[in-house]
Amino acid sequence: MADQDYRTIHQIIKAARQNLNQTYWDYLIGGTETETTLKRNRQSLDSLALMPRVLNDVSDIDTSTEFLGHSLKIPTLLAPIGSLQVFEAGGGASAAKAAAEFGIMSIASSVCQPSLEDIAAASDAPKIFQLYVRGDADWVDNIIERTINAGYIGFCLTVDTAMVSRRERDIAKGASPPSQETLGGDYQWQSRLNWKDVERIRKQWDIPLIIKGINVVDDAKRALDLGVDVIYVSNHGGRQLDHGRGAIDLLPDIVDAVKGQASVVVDGGFYRGTDIIKAIALGADAVGLGRLEAWAMAAGGAPAVVKMLQILRHEILLSLGLCGVSSFAELDPSYVNKVSPVNEADVMSAFPLLHLDEGY
């Protein structure tokens, strides 16, 4: 199916499955050990109902927001994905081009290709660079200096990867996660990463600092005390610690603790327009798209990512209108309510047509 013929996100995911071998497909959809955290990401989203208002003028709906001083067409970021190039040869450069064409922001992973400079040069759109630490303070400082010189508008430190997790879909096949092969180096540096490192980076470098992998209020407060600019709530898509909480369940308490002193991003199982609306209603400033980005990349590179974002925006626009609001600024926590989920928790539970016969 040509990229322009995709009418639903189901079709994009179906094309991704057809294009990927079993190893890369499992790498994309899998989680750690029992995959409980992965499933809870969807379960927590499916356990929130929307509470619409009626008889409001919604003839002119604005889906845009701002993040770190830059306009986003919808409040989403293309999340950092290790070895993005195994899903499409252009890797991080293709993601940057798609983000620019559509009008959002991309986060380049240090374990994807091409180089951070080549990704920066791929488009004029604002970008963030994310780092897994594989060296000492001088090594980190060199990366940050390169990040600033390349024109990135933020630096993201991922902090939930102190250990290499057991992703049993990969282990059972004897396959090494592609991201581990991409960067190499001594993984012990990531294990040694601590709050003193964050403090040092914040004091030494004048670039917005994002800490990705916050799960509890105390850590969010500590990050705030050190002057972190963005609290990124994430359980790594269920790919690190098993038996964690669903990402959106973590969000309200952390938003309450942050009290507007920093921006808040969340990711983990956000695949539909209604998912984005729930996150913003509960106080997030933006939502990271990980697997959704990779599925689209595998389906057709940058053009398919743009098409996915167009479909997502259409879902958002319709759902905002049906909620009785004309912009994200009108949402608050009263627009969501806890319920029992209808679907069994699964990485694909947001896409019921994938379980049906051909023709979609």
Number of compact structural domains in the chain: 1
The number of angstroms, rounded, from the C-alpha of 267 to the middle of its chain's C-alpha atoms is: 5
Phi, psi of 54 (to 5 degrees): -125, 170
The number of angstroms, rounded, from the C-alpha of 226 to the middle of its chain's C-alpha atoms is: 24
| Measured distance CA(102)–CA(99) in Å, rounded | 5
Q: Whole-prediction pTM value?
A: 0.95
Among 63, 31, 18, 2, smallest CA distance to 358 is for 18
Looking at residue 106, its pLDDT comes to 98
Looking at residue 288, its pLDDT comes to 98
Looking at residue 360, its pLDDT comes to 45
Looking at residue 208, its pLDDT comes to 98
Looking at residue 178, its pLDDT comes to 62
| Measured distance CA(295)–CA(29) in Å, rounded | 9
- Is residue 295, in this structure, part of any structural domain at all? yes
In this structure, how many other beta carbons lie within 10 angstroms of the beta carbon of residue 302?
A: 24
| Measured distance CA(82)–CA(183) in Å, rounded | 9
Two tokens, residue 121? 């040069």
- Is residue 187, in this structure, part of any structural domain at all? yes
- Is residue 12, in this structure, part of any structural domain at all? yes
| Measured distance CA(88)–CA(261) in Å, rounded | 38
CATH code: domain of residue 101: 3.20.20.70
In this structure, how many other beta carbons lie within 10 angstroms of the beta carbon of residue 117?
A: 13
Looking at residue 355, its pLDDT comes to 72
Token pair 């928790």 is at which residue?
Answer: 345
How confident is the model over 165-201, as pLDDT tens digits? 888 888 888 776 665 555 556 779 999 999 999 999 9
- Is residue 337, in this structure, part of any structural domain at all? no
- State how beta strands 65-67 and 70-72 pair: antiparallel
Among 304, 303, 262, smallest CA distance to 286 is for 262
Looking at residue 179, its pLDDT comes to 58
Length of the chain: 360
Known catalytic membership, residue 236: yes
Domain that holds residue 122: 3-52+65-331
Looking at residue 173, its pLDDT comes to 82
75: preceding bond cis by omega (within 30 degrees) = no
* Kind plus residue range of the DSSP H or E element containing 177: none
- Is residue 181, in this structure, part of any structural domain at all? yes
Two tokens, residue 262? 């920093």
* Kind plus residue range of the DSSP H or E element containing 336: strand 336-338
CA–CA–CA angle 297, 108, 154 (5° rounding): 140
Q: Which residue blocks in the chain are alpha helix, DSSP H?
A: 9-19, 22-29, 36-46, 91-102, 116-121, 137-150, 168-173, 178-183, 188-192, 195-204, 217-225, 247-258, 273-281, 291-323
From 10, 236, 314, 355, active-site residue: 236
Helix 291-323 / helix 91-102 crossing angle, nearest 10 deg: 20
- Is residue 128, in this structure, part of any structural domain at all? yes
| Measured distance CA(214)–CA(135) in Å, rounded | 22
Burial of 94 (0-12, 13-18, 19+ CB in 10 A): buried
- Is residue 127, in this structure, part of any structural domain at all? yes
- Is residue 293, in this structure, part of any structural domain at all? yes
Which stretches of the chain drop beneath a pLDDT of 50?
A: 358-360
